Amino acid sequence: MAAESAVFTIADSAFARKLSAYVKLSPADLLVLSDIYRRKRDFAVGHDMIHEGERSHHAYILASGWACSYKILNGGTRQIVDFQVPGDFLGLRSVLFRTADHNVEPITPVQASEVRQQDLLAAFSHTPRISTAVLWTASRDEAMVVEHLVNLGRRNAAERTGHFLLELAARLRLVGMGDKKGFACPLSQYHLSDALGLSAVRVNRVLRLLREEGMLTFHKGQVVFKNYDALVAFTGFDRTYLDHDGPLLP
């Protein structure tokens, strides 16, 4: 009874939907997942979910809300590495390495499932499919970080900003939170600047430029693509790094 409702919950979640795209999960696999997935926790804005250096023993799966992972440098500047949206795994590295090498902060109020280290490792040992599926999501996350790297290294401020918003839109579409017209975006221009390696002033000017060029607007928590194709051409966005070819394991 309880197990059944748990299965229902997990099978319904953004996370299971994402995993299923990678690896076909059996009912037994789903049971294991739902066990991992059980404990929900809430996080308020202003309190980090994970602290760098912390010897952390759990990771999280985001159920609702947005978060971001970041690092702080000597000078006090920060670099946001990635944003997490519902369905995303978060803090996997800090569990595998046992001490966190980055911080994670909620951007909106967040609800997340706490995944305990021992549960996760046990699941890996006993259900290889889950292990492979998680490896897959980790690889996809890495593909995104790689694209951010290219973004910072070789694109100018305008291309970089546009590219980033296009990626965000593509990710959100996968979990049904947006379309080619745009998406709801709780980020401030400061968030963008920390993610893009720019100053907030420049982000503001770039957004004005993109608006004046008729490509997109960023206003009141809404990103609207005014000319999607032009923006794709301008930024050189190629979404193949986000995609895959369907389930690898039958």
Residues interacting with DNA, by CB under 7 A? Answer: 156-158, 188-190, 197-202, 204-205, 207-208, 218-219
Question: Of 107-115, 132-140, 172-180, 222-230, which part binds a second copy (CB under 8 A)?
Answer: 132-140
Q: Does 236 bind a second copy (CB under 8 A)?
A: yes
Nearer to a second copy, 183 or 206 (CB): 206
> Residues 24-43 vs a second copy: string with x where CB under 8 A?
--------------------
Question: Of 32-40, 164-172, 212-220, 237-245, which part binds a second copy (CB under 8 A)?
Answer: 237-245
Near a second copy by CB under 8 A: residue from 5, 26, 99, 188: 99
Provide the pairing of β-strand 67-72 with 78-84: antiparallel
CB of 133 to a second copy, least distance (A): 10
Q: Do residues 163 and 169 make contact, with C-beta atoms less than 8 angstroms apart? A: no
Nearer to a second copy, 220 or 246 (CB): 246
Cα angle for residues 136, 179, 62 (degrees, 5° grid): 45
Residues 171-210 that bind a second copy (CB under 8 A): 196-197
Nearer to a second copy, 5 or 99 (CB): 99
Near a second copy by CB under 8 A: residue from 155, 173, 202, 211: 155
Q: Which residues bind a second copy (CB under 8 A)?
A: 53, 71, 73-74, 77-79, 81, 92-93, 96-99, 101-102, 121, 124-126, 128-129, 131-132, 134-136, 138-143, 145-146, 148-150, 152-155, 196-197, 236, 240-241, 243-245, 248-249
